[in-house]
Amino acid sequence: METTLRGVGVSHGVAIGEVRHMGTAVLEPPAKQIPAEEAEREQGRARQAVEAVAADLIARGNLAGGEAQHVLEAQAMMAQDPELMADVERRIAVGSTAERGVYDAFAAYRALLANAGEYLAGRVADLDDVRNRIVARLLGVPMPGVPDSDEPYVLIARDLAPADTALLDPALVLGFVTEEGGPTSHSAILARALGVPAVVALPGAGELAEGTVIAVDGSTGEIFVEPSAEKRAEMESAAAARKAALSASSGPGATSDGHKVPLLANVGGPGDVPAAVEAGAEGVGLFRTEFLFLDDSRQAPSEEKQVAAYRAVLEAFPEGRVVVRVLDAGADKPLDFLTPADEPNPALGVRGLRSLLDHPDVLRTQLTALSNAAQGLPVHLEVMAPMVADRADAKAFADACREAGLQAKFGAMVEIPSAALRARSILREVEFLSLGTNDLAQYTFAADRQVGAVSRLQDPWQPALLDLVALSAEAARAEGKSCGVCGEAASDPLLACVLTGLGVTSLSMGAASIPYVRATLAKYTLAQCERAASAARAADSAEEARVAAQVVLSGE
């Protein structure tokens, strides 16, 4: 009998297939004591296992490329953390086996992360995955992970670690469903990059029996268990119609009456550029430069290394617009040379622009590298600062850009509610705004973007969030400047129409979402988008806002 479940749709598309569950987690190793003379040998085993797992993560990253590579390299650094390894060796020295020492040391570190504030708590799943891989290697058992199957299937998991998501084979994994996670988690972002339909934050997903046929709608978040022949046909027809619309849509982003809405790509480095170009991106709306810095948390990359990476991206968009976000360190992206190690709540501490203003040499080197990388290129370079709170922040960043001789537009990200509320003041110092809706939602609703239990508050359809977008767009229009969205909200085709109606002037997203957004925008006039935006803001919940916008755009 067909039943319907609802989670949070995070990656467009439809998948129909049998359920396969993620490999089970590693069991807790026994707590047995070893003789003192065996401690050195066990410490060696632990070091070898850690290095092997780190090497495997890096190799997986090299295969995956793009943003996934940076995520996996960061996870490898987590495995090799010197303080964590020192704790493992101390535990072995007093009698633990290698596997038990690793298990207990990671458990202690896990507890620290879980209590260290929103962002770091969101890294617990990544840490658990690293632990499981090391312990599995020490025990000589198979790694937890994606099941072996010769037939295509829908993957079910409590959560998906980046190492697993990055190497999913779309030919076999039709889609995936997780119990945990949120719309802006690593797995959701990587799923969109892969173009795999995905639903997260579905309570009880793990109870779906192996082999059960389910239909997954990655747009609506609906899961149909044992779908009827009629439901299958309906979903397959809708998917085919969507695919045909995507194929027919090309060229710059615009509404049906010709109102231009440039569609840009979010990239983490040169590896993400080919997919963006193939999708028809009109430029880059968010170049996340922090991934270049995460290669070595102990020191900043040289100016020469930065120039090479930046130029590779800039060269891909001749005459196009490339918006670069300067280093956004801190919180879930700590760097030993830059961010404090003892903050009680890093997400609310010295992160983003605050870190850079405390280390002006790091900011100056990056701005100089960007200036040199753009020399002789016809690209339209724009540089923006993350975590701008007020006009003083915006002025400090603009002054730093001028002092570095940077020939580019300077902008500010709106990720903190104060920046939206005082957007017009900030625009007296900079030339454009870019809304990071992921963090803006997190700070507006005090809801960690990695925690599935508060996913309803991370929903970018929340009317309060739309109000803040509208405030920012109105301020930019009043100042004669631009206001784009580079957060994950832009990847929702229906919401893209609403954002356009709110006055947003450009939309930036993962490359896989660009065709969906382009095709949907082309169906409606600017006036229809504006009416949908008004209806969404008048609602009292995210779901009501979504339905209200849909009703307006469908003409019902």
Which residues, listed in sequence order, are joined to residue 19 by a DSSP beta bridge?
154
Strand extents, DSSP E, 7-114? 8-11, 14-21
* CA 39 remoteness from chain centre: 41
C-alpha to C-alpha distance for 115 and 108, rounded to whole angstroms: 11
Nearest alpha-carbon partner for 25 in 199, 118, 161, 210: 161
Q: Which amino acid is at 265?
A: A
Q: Which residues contact 107 (CB under 8 A, 6 or more apart)?
A: none
Start-to-end CA span in the chain (Å): 31
Long-range contacts of 307-313 (CB under 8 A, 24+ apart): 307/369, 307/372, 307/373, 308/373, 309/269, 309/270, 310/369, 310/370, 310/373, 310/374, 311/373, 311/374, 311/377, 312/269, 312/270, 312/273, 313/267, 313/269, 313/270, 313/273, 313/284, 313/287
- Specify the DSSP element, H or E, that contains 509: strand 506-509
The one-character DSSP state at 168 is -
Where residue 467 falls (left for φ over 0; alpha for ψ -120 to 50; beta otherwise) is alpha
Whether 497 is a known active-site residue: answer: no
Helices (H), ranges, 80-123? 82-93, 98-114, 118-121
Q: Is the dihedral of CA 437, 438, 440, 446 positive or negative?
A: positive
SS3 307: helix
**CB-based contact 407:372 (threshold 8 Å):** no
Q: Which amino acid is at 225?
A: V
Which residues, listed in sequence order, are joined to residue 443 by a DSSP beta bridge?
none
Where residue 405 falls (left for φ over 0; alpha for ψ -120 to 50; beta otherwise) is left
Which residues, listed in sequence order, are joined to residue 283 by a DSSP beta bridge?
321
Whether 21 is a known active-site residue: answer: no
Q: What is the CA radius of gyration of the chain?
A: 24
Distances (CA, A) of 131 to 26, 78, 143, 397, 409: 9, 10, 11, 40, 44
Helices and strands in the chain: count of H runs, count of E runs: 24, 16
Q: Provide the pairing of β-strand 321-325 with 409-414.
A: unpaired
Q: Among 12, 70, 483, 486, which one carries the catalytic annotation?
A: 486
Q: Among 186, 359, 497, 529, which one carries the catalytic annotation?
A: 186
Catalytic residues: 186, 486
